[in-house]
Structure 1
């Protein structure tokens, strides 16, 4: 700084003034920046209108894909040959871009928010390993549901039902296109008859059958969710309190029927490496506990990884605390790695597992041929950046199976073997992109940026003080007449 006309006092005021200014600003930042940074992070991570987290939560900012892997039953005509196992060939994947949009968002005074989630799927032919017009053979779901519901009725009623199945379209298996099996659905003679018959004894609440019929573009299908906003306590951010206005699912006895965990798209910050993560899966109407399993790197971010384990889908065989996931009214509890979902799926004999019966009792995969469990392809994985709670990578994998078992009162199921038939498995894939990763790094490093800036400012202030002290000790505040510049101008 040049101050030709300044006196000694003015020069001292400038030097020590700047030193004081920079030192005070730097010291204030070092003392208070952590709280300021924490406040900034908190305001961006909680669910409130205008926050970064809210905007990303309302409409997912990254592409999400749903991959369907369908099982084609290649030898149904040999079902009664007990020397030949039912054989299945995996088809696909059939990949759909999945769009998420929260609707009917309502905030409450107790720091919770309720909403419906509209999910819309768009087929991506380029990413898919097949066409939606591929033909696929699988068990006739309606016939299996009717037979299962009537299994324990008296002989007379079962004879009537058997006559009805034989006359009105009951089948062991059926062949339809993939598009009909997934979203479009197909008309069925047996469904038409049951809807016309209109009996409460056999409840078929739809006009067409397809695994996701009426779900594409529907906001209400998955139900009404109520979660914590994190405004009062960040540790509860994203935690479910109610599903369809209830804190119990009604499908399992307590505590297994408790609405628990998160929906999988929002997690609290400051997660610990050894804690469990709980996901509420609407497709199974239950929560699932995931265990920690190392770390992953993504765009310079380190995330903790959680996976499904042998405990995740156990119904009490190996983990007694999960015995309540087994309905005492059914004939027998499924072995480990498989969970019964009848009540959740309109009383159809549906069971969930990991793909290819990964981590399930070996008897399931040994009863069929064509399946090869592989942890790298079939595990349920969830990686989260622990400081912000932002998901880095998601592979939500589940398999839907149907129980086939003999019943000599029904011609269709006479002398068939008992086995769990794989119908399809899906993988919900979401990967953080670089743009969001950079934003996350900014939030994570915000405290460090303030610390370094404060240290730099304090250092600048110290330099001014040192210069001022040196000039004072050497009495150099006033320029001497024998300075080179002065000599040249005299």
Structure 2
């Protein structure tokens, strides 16, 4: 089992190396009282959002369990509305019937799609590199050179890596990310290389003009912000 006690995924989630932080909004009801200081970051409310929320008797805050917020998901009136609206009224199709940060991913072997990769036969430097995603060599999420399937899936890499960079294809954002070499490390007596995402990893033409094809909507968001509307 993927999630059974003793499995690799269970051990990782039990003591996860990347912290997950859920903030408790102490006084959500006081958002309607202008004389009370809110204990949360500022937000922007638009007229259309306010109208939709009033129509479906929803508010800016919900009270849900961690289980519902992560994998189980919860039903939301706005998602129900989106499911019955004509396609021309939505910028993209809504693929879920519930909201949850990791909804449908738990114990799923198909969420990321079908990944075809090279075995290294004939050329060991191709070992672990992506060949196709969902049987295509293009991601269809971006334009021209930005939609090519390349890099590793993140699990396997060719031997003898170089001290320059490695590439990982992410199915969550339909694109390849380049991680730059940072330093040599020792882990349990084994020498390794550490790569990281530097300030240019999510550049979409602010400084690197070749990355302009990642701007799927015609206008590029600020550096470090990516538009995945054409991907998901």
Q: By how many angstroms is 1:334 displaced?
A: 2.0
- Which residue pairs with 1:177 in the alignment? 65
Is the alpha carbon distance of 1:169 and 1:287 closer, same or farther for their aligned partners in structure 2, counting shifts above 3 Å? farther
**1:257 is the counterpart of 2:147:** yes
- 1:306 equivalenced with 2:207 (yes/no): no
CA deviations over 1:198-238 (Å, ceiling 9, x no partner)? 52233333222112112112211111001000011000100
CA distance in 2, matches of 1:236, 1:179: 40
In 1: Cα distance, 2:9 partner to 2:101 partner: 27
1:241 maps to: 131
- Match in the other structure for 2:228: 341
C-alpha change, 1:87 and 1:163, in structure 2 (3 Å) is: closer
Contiguous gaps of at least 5 residues in structure 2: 1-6
Inter-CA distance 281–169: structure 2 relative to 1 (3 Å threshold): farther
The Cα of 1:260 is off from its aligned counterpart by: 1.4
Q: TM-score, normalised by structure 2?
A: 0.78
Structure 1 residue runs of 5 or longer lacking an equivalent are 1-58, 89-138, 152-157, 346-490
| Structure 2: distance between partners of 1:72 and 1:61 | 27
Aligned partner of 1:217 among 100, 104, 107: 107
Instruction: Note the 1:440-451 alignment, pairs <5 A.
Output: none
Q: Which has the higher contact order (CA 8 A, sep 6+)?
A: 1
**CA–CA separation in structure 2 for the residues paired with 1:162 and 1:252:** 32
Distance 1:80 1:325 in 2: 42
Structure 1 residue matching 2:62: 3-state secondary structure: strand
Say whether residues 1:191 and 2:144 are aligned partners: no
Question: Displacement of 1:69 after TM fit?
Answer: 2.5
In the alignment of these two chains, the number of paired residues is: 215
Q: CA, structure 1 residues 255+173, in 2 after alignment: closer, same or farther (shift >3 Å)?
A: farther
Q: TM-score, normalised by structure 1?
A: 0.39
Contact 2:149 2:169 in 1 (8 A): yes
> Could you tell me which residue of structure 1 aligns to residue 12 of structure 2?
64
Q: 1:172 to 1:278 in 2, by over 3 A?
A: same
SS of 1:321's equivalent in the other structure is: helix
* Structure number, greater radius of gyration: 1
Distance in 1 between residues matched to 2:27 and 2:203, nearest whole Å: 30
* Inter-partner Cα distance in structure 1 for 2:122 and 2:53: 57
**For the residues of structure 2 that align with 1:327 and 1:270, how far apart are their CA atoms?**
36
Q: Please say if residues 169 and 190 of structure 1, whose CA atoms lie closer than 8 Å, have aligned partners that are also in contact.
A: no
Say whether the 8 Å CA contact 2:216–2:230 is kept in structure 1: no
Residues 280 and 288, structure 1, Cα contact 8 Å, conserved in 2 = yes
Match in the other structure for 2:4:
none
Shift of 1:60: 6.1
Change (3 A) 1:61 1:72: closer
Larger strand percent: 1
- Give the SS at the match of 1:317: coil
Superposed CA RMSD in Å reads 3.3
Cα deviation code 1:460-480 (max 9, x no counterpart): xxxxxxxxxxxxxxxxxxxxx
CA distance in 2 between partners of 1:256 and 1:183 (Å): 31
